[in-house]
Amino acid sequence: MEKDLVEYIARSLVDEPDQVDVVMIEGEKSTILELKVAEDDIGKVIGKHGRIAKAVRTILSAASSQSGKRFVLEILD
């Protein structure tokens, strides 16, 4: 569910939604979500001063609070 949420938000923000890719790496206590977008769209996903990235991380944290697992979002360039 969290992977789909991040993918949906990222696809809504970028100009090239076909190049959005989210990879899930499971750990014991936390799960890493690696977000990769087109080179021209990185700024749109991060936002000015990282505001959009912070907002996406906040939404991810709220959505994952029921599962008891911690999710970490990494934006790859």
Q: What is the DSSP string of 9-54?
A: HHHHH-S-GGG-EEEEEE-SSEEEEEEE--GGGHHHHH-GGGHHHH
Structural domain count of the chain? 1
Could you tell me which of 36, 33, 27 has the C-alpha nearest to residue 2?
33
pLDDT digits (tens, 9 = 90+) for 28-73: 888 999 999 999 999 999 999 999 999 999 999 998 887 778 899 9
Domain residues for 28? 2-76
pLDDT (0 to 100) of residue 64? 84
Q: What is the CATH number of the domain that holds 50?
A: 3.30.300.20
Q: pTM (2 decimals)?
A: 0.88
